[in-house]
Structure 1
Amino acid sequence: MNFERIREKLNILADAAKYDVSCASSGSTRKNSKNGLGNSTGMGICHSYTEDGRCVSLLKILLTNYCIYDCAYCVTRKSNDVKRAAFKIQEVVDLTINFYRRNYIEGLFLSSGIFKNPDYTMERLIAVAKKLREEENFNGYIHLKSIPGASDELMYQAGLYADRLSVNIEVPTVSGLKLLAPDKKHEDFTKPMLKVKNELLRYKNERKIIKSTPKYAPAGQSTQMIVGATNETDKDVMYSATFYYKKYHMKRVYYSGYVPVAKDDRLPSIGSQVPMLRENRLYQTDWLLRFYGFAVNEILNNDYPNLDMDVDPKLSWALRNLHHFPVDINKADKHMLARVPGLGMLSVGKILKARQFRKLNWDHLKKMGVALNRAQYFLVCDSKSWEQRDLEAEQIKGMILQNSKGKFRKQYSQQLALFN
Structure 2
Amino acid sequence: MSFERIKEKLNILADAAKYDISCSSSGSKRANKGGLGNSDGVGICHSYTEDGRCVSLLKILLTNHCIFDCAYCVTRKSNDIKRAAFKVQEVVDLTMNFYRRNYIEGLFLSSGIFNSPDTTMERLVQVAKKLRLEENFNGYIHLKSIPGASDELMQEAGLYADRLSVNIEIPTVSGLKLLAPDKKHEDFIKPMEAVKNSIQIYQSEKKIIKSTPKYAPAGQSTQMIVGATGESDRDVMYSAAYYYKKYKMKRVYYSGYIPVANDSRLPALGSPVPLLRENRLYQTDWLLRFYGFDIRELLNNENQNLDLDIDPKLSWALRNREIFPLDINRADKLLIARVPGIGLKSVHKIIEARKYRKLNWEHLKKIGIAYNRARYFITCDSNSFEKRDLSSIQIKGLILQNSTSKFRKDYSSQLSLFN
In the superposition, the TM-score normalised over structure 1's length comes to: 0.98
Kindly indicate whether the alpha-carbon contact (under 8 Å) linking 1:179 and 1:266 is maintained by their aligned counterparts in 2.
yes
Distance 2:53 2:250 in 1: 17
Kindly indicate whether the alpha-carbon contact (under 8 Å) linking 1:24 and 1:50 is maintained by their aligned counterparts in 2.
no
What is the Cα deviation at residue 49 of structure 1? 4.8
Corresponding residue SS for 1:76: coil
1:141-193 deviation per Cα after TM superposition (whole angstroms, max 9, x unaligned): 00000000000000000000000000000000000000001111111001000
Which residue matches 1:235?
A: 234
Which residue matches 1:27?
A: 27
Distance 1:192 1:270 in 2: 33
Kindly indicate whether the alpha-carbon contact (under 8 Å) linking 2:110 and 2:143 is maintained by their aligned counterparts in 1.
yes
Kindly indicate whether the alpha-carbon contact (under 8 Å) linking 1:48 and 1:58 is maintained by their aligned counterparts in 2.
no
Change (3 A) 1:113 1:51: farther
1:293 correspondence with 2:292:
yes
Q: Give the partner amino acid of 2:373.
A: R
Kindly indicate whether the alpha-carbon contact (under 8 Å) linking 1:44 and 1:141 is maintained by their aligned counterparts in 2.
no
Corresponding residue SS for 1:211: coil
Which residue matches 2:10?
A: 10
Change (3 A) 1:41 1:365: same
1:102 correspondence with 2:104:
no
What is the Cα deviation at residue 55 of structure 1? 3.3
1:100-157 deviation per Cα after TM superposition (whole angstroms, max 9, x unaligned): 0000000000000000000000000000000000000000000000000000000000
1:314-346 deviation per Cα after TM superposition (whole angstroms, max 9, x unaligned): 000001111110010011101110100010000
Which residue matches 2:63?
A: 64
Q: Give the partner amino acid of 2:406.
A: K
Distance 2:180 2:89 in 1: 32
Which residue matches 2:340?
A: 341
Q: Give the partner amino acid of 1:362.
A: W
Larger deviation, residues 126-135 vs 46-55: 46-55
Distance 2:169 2:53 in 1: 27
What is the Cα deviation at residue 53 of structure 1? 7.1
Q: How does 1:304-343 map to 2 (within 5 A)?
A: 304-343=303-342
Distance 2:376 2:125 in 1: 54
Q: How does 1:50-199 map to 2 (within 5 A)?
A: 50=49, 55-199=54-198
State the 4+ residue runs in structure 1 displaced beyond 3 angstroms: 48-55
Distance 1:382 1:410 in 2: 30
Kindly indicate whether the alpha-carbon contact (under 8 Å) linking 2:44 and 2:55 is maintained by their aligned counterparts in 1.
no
Distance 1:65 1:45 in 2: 22
Distance 1:85 1:185 in 2: 26
Corresponding residue SS for 1:19: coil
Change (3 A) 1:225 1:50: farther
Which residue matches 1:394?
A: 393
Q: Give the partner amino acid of 2:404.
A: K
What is the Cα deviation at residue 42 of structure 1? 1.6
What is the Cα deviation at residue 4 of structure 1? 0.5
Corresponding residue SS for 2:225: strand
Kindly indicate whether the alpha-carbon contact (under 8 Å) linking 1:26 and 1:51 is maintained by their aligned counterparts in 2.
no
Distance 2:93 2:122 in 1: 18
Task: Provide the identity percentage.
Answer: 78
Which residue matches 1:264?
A: 263
Distance 1:238 1:49 in 2: 27
Which residue matches 2:418?
A: 419
What is the Cα deviation at residue 204 of structure 1? 1.2
- Unmatched segments (≥5 aa) in structure 1: none
Q: Give the partner amino acid of 1:149.
A: G
What is the Cα deviation at residue 54 of structure 1? 5.1
Change (3 A) 1:192 1:60: same
Kindly indicate whether the alpha-carbon contact (under 8 Å) linking 1:25 and 1:48 is maintained by their aligned counterparts in 2.
no
Q: Give the partner amino acid of 1:56.
A: V
Kindly indicate whether the alpha-carbon contact (under 8 Å) linking 2:23 and 2:44 is maintained by their aligned counterparts in 1.
no
Superposition RMSD in Å: 1.1
Kindly indicate whether the alpha-carbon contact (under 8 Å) linking 1:9 and 1:85 is maintained by their aligned counterparts in 2.
yes
Q: Give the partner amino acid of 2:113.
A: I
Distance 2:251 2:48 in 1: 13
1:404 correspondence with 2:400:
no
Corresponding residue SS for 2:202: helix
What is the Cα deviation at residue 221 of structure 1? 0.2
Distance 2:393 2:54 in 1: 39
What is the Cα deviation at residue 93 of structure 1? 0.3
Distance 1:314 1:280 in 2: 13
Distance 2:274 2:52 in 1: 24
Distance 2:67 2:46 in 1: 30
Which residue matches 1:362?
A: 361
1:5-62 deviation per Cα after TM superposition (whole angstroms, max 9, x unaligned): 000000100000000000011110001112x111111223942455787532000000
Corresponding residue SS for 1:339: coil
Corresponding residue SS for 2:18: helix
Which residue matches 2:282?
A: 283
In the superposition, the TM-score normalised over structure 2's length comes to: 0.98
Kindly indicate whether the alpha-carbon contact (under 8 Å) linking 2:56 and 2:105 is maintained by their aligned counterparts in 1.
yes
Kindly indicate whether the alpha-carbon contact (under 8 Å) linking 1:24 and 1:49 is maintained by their aligned counterparts in 2.
no
Distance 1:53 1:260 in 2: 35
Distance 2:203 2:241 in 1: 23
